Amino acid sequence: MGVSEALLFELGALLVMLALLGALARRFALSPIPVYLLAGLALGKGGILPVAAAADFVSTGAPIGIVLLLLTLGLEFSATEFASSLRHHLPSAGVDIVLNATPGAVTGWLLGLDGVAIVALAGVTYISSSGVIARLLEDLRRLGNRETPAVLSVLVLEDFAMAAYLPMFTVLALRGSWLDALGGTLAAIGALLAAFAASYYWGHHVGRLVAHPDSEQLLLRVLGITLLVAALAESLHASAAVGAFLVGLTLTGKRPTGRARSWVRCAICSPRSSSLRSDYR
């Protein structure tokens, strides 16, 4: 069996298996995300049945799928209401840090780890997965619930906190100075705040730039801008998913418009882009 045949067979078998597991989970009114994660652990590197031929394709497609998922999620909200929600839930973000980072820090201290390792373990227990949470909100049909903007606000503030945390931790792990750590942290936070301000104040200009009557042009423009912003977010030690979420807010503008949502959803679901979302882990 050639490499291309093995790739097609493994991808086909993987998707059929995920479809069956997802249908089984939904039959019991459960989100399929946990079974997808278990399947990924079983079939991934070090699992009981690795998919060697499809590994490169899946490892590339998975982050792109998460980016597209957060893009469509950003289209569900307006920039105005989300900015208000961020300001309103700053105290919730503080509680989130205390409740989630403290167990990791305490565990590291009890294990006798040094300061840098304790900070690392606190970060591990603090951060959440943007992709998993966004998919759960969609699966449980809670996107329209009143508490959903609060959940997303805390999630975005987590990524802002990680944008400050990662440069600081990297410098400390390399035995750098606290001054270097502070400089990297301020630069990352400043870039994220600038990106959010741009999406809030000048998003309508981006919307006009992207808009086009031809679906192919719309697809290329939306995906191109989204992936570029996601790459920029990753380079700043922020989440690519949050970068895509900000693109969604930018395309929506200060008022959520059904036209913007339908444009982008149709573009992402078109035959040319469907292969980009074939992995949902």
- Express each pLDDT in 1-44 by its tens digit: 455 787 888 888 888 988 998 899 888 878 888 888 888 888 77
Domain boundaries, position 39: 1-53
Asked if the structure places residue 281 within a domain, the reply is no
Mean pLDDT for 182-202 is: 74
148 and 215 in a single domain? The answer is yes
Q: Which of 11, 27, 53 is the last residue of a domain?
A: 53
- 98 lies in a domain? yes
In a domain, 177, yes or no: yes
- Total number of domains in the chain: 2
Based on the domain organization, do 44 and 172 belong to the same domain?
Answer: no
**Tokens representing 117?**
């390792």
Lowest-pLDDT range of 75-79, 147-151, 217-221: 75-79
The pLDDT confidence band at residue 149, using thresholds 50, 70 and 90, is: confident
Does residue 232 sit in the same domain as residue 204?
yes
List the CATH number of the domain containing 212: 1.20.1530.20
Same domain, 240 and 203: yes
Question: Which tokens go with 77?
Answer: 């909200």
Cα 184–227–37 angle (5° rounding)? 90
Same domain, residue pair 72 and 5 = no
Q: Are 37 and 136 in a shared domain? A: no
What is d(CA 73, CA 131) in angstroms, rounded to the nearest whole number?
10
16 and 149 share one domain: no
Tell whether 122 and 47 lie within a shared domain: no
**In the structure encoding, which two tokens stand for residue 149, read together?**
């903007």
**257 shares its domain with 190:** yes
Q: Indicate if 95 and 158 belong to the same structural domain.
A: yes
Can you give the three-state secondary structure of the chain, one letter per residue? CCHHHHHHHHHHHHHHHHHHHHHHHHHCCCCCHHHHHHHHHHHCCCCCCCCCCCHHHHHHHHHHHHHHHHHHHHCCCCHHHHHHHHHHCHHHHHHHHHHHHHHHHHHHHHCCCCHHHHHHHHHHHHCCCHHHHHHHHHHCCCCCCCCHHHHHHHHHHHHHHHHHHHHHHHHHHCCCCHHHHHHHHHHHHHHHHHHHHHHHHCHHHHHHHHCCCCHHHHHHHHHHHHHHHHHHHHHCCCCHHHHHHHHHHHHHCCCCCHHHHHHHHHHHCCCCCHHHHCCCC
Q: Of 12, 30, 53, at which residue does a domain stop?
A: 53
Instruction: Tell me, yes or no, whether 247 lies in a domain.
Output: yes
At residue 200, the pLDDT reads 72
Lowest mean pLDDT among 47-61, 115-129, 218-232: 47-61
**pTM tops 0.85:** no
Assess whether 39 and 130 both reside in one domain: no
pLDDT, the chain, mean: 76
Provide φ and ψ at 259, rounded to 5°: -65, -45
Q: 53, 73, 95 — which closes off a domain?
A: 53
Alpha carbons 186 and 198: distance in angstroms, whole number: 18
Residue 99 and residue 45 share a domain: no
Confidence bin at 263 (pLDDT 50/70/90): low
Instruction: Show the tokens assigned to 265.
Output: 């959803």
The span from the CA of 133 to the CA of 225, in Å, is 23
106 falls in which pLDDT band (50, 70, 90)?
very high
Query: Does any domain span residue 3?
Result: yes
